[in-house]
Structure formats: structure tokens, C-alpha cells
Amino acid sequence: MSGDVKCPLSCSYCFALQPNYVPQDTVDAALKEAATFGKNSSLLVQPCCDSEIFARPDDGMKILFLLSELGHSISISTKMALSDHMIRGLAEINGRLDKIGALLSVTISIPKIYNLRKYELGTCSIDDRIINLEKLAREGIHTVSAIRPVLPDLSAKEAKDIVDVCRPWCSNFVDGPFYTRRSKYLKSHAAQERTTKIEWLSNDRKDWLVIDNAATRLALKEYILDHPELRFFDGNIQAVEAALSSKTCPLKSS
Ligand code: SF4
């Protein structure tokens, strides 16, 4: 489920901002479709997955409250600072879902901690993202830290530093590859990165490739696996499935 309108933020690595990107269903269409499944806590809905759900915080919260009435588990991802008012709303939604065996999962996206502004404009600071994780954990809301996309200049050390700033509050981590246009980054990174065509992009986007910073992704995964209290997942769906099956409280510190 993607946003109705283009995300107003400006992440230079964003494939969804490209003029030839075709979003998935609008929120309205997706809400209607979700309603046809009836109350079903085994379904997972990911609203605004190619946008920023809290670019307009009131609209984002409204979507989440509507979805929570349908009784499906919800996974969202954000790069915005969450106000106390929003945290209270998210806690209410999570409580509502918890009663029927579903959950709300909030992914905080942290692709860089050094030189973040080289890649992102309009998003919140790293400090605010860690505060988000703390506030969510204190409310017992499931969190995921997404080191995604793994950018070509993300070193293994920086990836581990990201884990270290998140792990007091979040034990679940995902990564993800970096999608780009053929011409933009490949000249400088082709030598050290493996590139693969993106099958899920349609025919008119044949110039899109994925740059897989495999060395950093491997180091990141190994670092997380070296810490028994942390968990690495292939994606948000897997992280939510694991949480639903264990229903563990994400709060690690008080
Ligand atoms: S917040 Fe997400 S959708 Fe918006 S510009 Fe950044 S990467 Fe793209």
C-alpha cells in the first residue's frame, strides 16, 4: 500500500521519487481491499511502504486508526520524529491490536549516521530516530531498525555503529539493497559492487539496477548474529512474523 501522493521528502537514494516510478495501490483503494478480508489478525498490512506515512502526521495517524479497526497487524516505516501525541496514538493502536493477537510494528529507518544530510533532506536527525526507538520500546511497541538501503559508501564500521546506537532500545534489524539508475552511481561503484537487474521493476524501468554492498551487508549480519540478544531478519514481514509467534516485549532497558 503506497501513499496517494508523492512523498514530499527528498532522499537522494529514493527510487519512488523517480518520474517513471509507478506506485502501488492508493491508500483509499488499499483500505477498501483490506476491508474485504474482514477482521483477520493473521494478515499484515504495510501502509505507505513507498512513501513516508508521517509526512502528514494527522493523515498518517488517521490511516493507522482506520486499519486497526480492521484487525490486521500493521507494519510501518518512518524517518520522522514521533511526537508524544503520536506515540500515545500508536500505543492505543498497538493495545487494540494486541487484544486480538495482532500487533503494530514500527520500523525506524537509519541508513547512515555519518553524513546523513548528504542523502536525506526533510527527515529527522539520528538523535530523534533513537528517541523514537526509546519511546516506542517504553510503550511496548514492536520496533525494527532498518539499515536500508545499504548505500555504496556505508562501511562495515558505520553499519556496526548504527547497530550500537539502536540496540539499547531495539533488538530487531533488517537491511536492504540500494536501487539506482544505471548512470547515477555505477561509474564510481561498479568496480566494488555487484549489480543485478531488478526483476520486479516493470519493462519501462530496465535501466534500474540494484547495487549490493555485499561486504558491508555480510559484516552487518555477522555482527548482529554475534550478539545473541539481537535478531537479523531478511525483511519487515519476517520480523513481524517472528514477533507474532513469540509475542515478546521489545523493551530492553528501563
Ligand atoms: S522518505 Fe522514503 S519515500 Fe520519501 S523520499 Fe525518502 S526514501 Fe523516498
Residue 186's identity, in one-letter code, is: L
148 Cα: distance to centroid of ligand 1 (angstroms): 11
Q: Is 35 in the pocket of ligand 1 (CB under 6 A)?
A: no
Query: At residue 209, does pLDDT exceed 80?
Result: no
52 CB near ligand 1 (under 6 Å) = yes
For ligand 1, the distance from its centroid to the CA atom of residue 8, given in whole angstroms, is 8
Asked whether the CA dihedral 68, 73, 79, 81 is positive or negative, the reply is positive
| Helix count and strand count (H, E) for the chain | 8, 11
pTM equals 0.88
pLDDT above 60: residue 203: no
* C-alpha cell of residue 41: 489478525
CB 111 within 8 A of CB 145: no
Residue 111 in 3-state DSSP? coil
| 11 pocket-lining for ligand 1 (C-beta < 6 Å) | yes
Sign of CA dihedral 148, 154, 159, 161: negative
* 3 DSSP assignment: -
Which distant-in-sequence residues (6+ apart) come within 8 Å of 92 by Cβ? none
Which span out of 200-204, 206-210, 231-235 was modeled with the highest average pLDDT?
A: 231-235
Q: 101 CA to middle of ligand 1, Å?
A: 31
Q: Which of 24, 48, 51 to mutate to test the pocket of ligand 1 (most atoms within 8 A of CB)?
A: 51
The per-residue pLDDT for range 45-99, each reduced to its tens digit, is 888 878 899 998 999 999 999 989 888 899 999 999 999 999 999 999 999 999 9
Sheet with 178-181: strands ordered across? 178-181, 208-212, 194-197
Q: Is residue 51 in contact with ligand 1, taking CB distance under 6 Å?
A: yes
**What is d(CA 114, CA 96) in angstroms, rounded to the nearest whole number?**
38
Q: Is 148 in the pocket of ligand 1 (CB under 6 A)?
A: no
Kindly list the structural domains of the chain, giving each domain's residue range(s) and its CATH number in brackets, ordered by start.
10-178+229-246 (3.80.30.30)
Q: Which residue has the cell 533513537?
A: 130
What's the confidence (pLDDT) of residue 71? Answer: 86
Q: Return the C-alpha cell found at 237.
A: 514481514
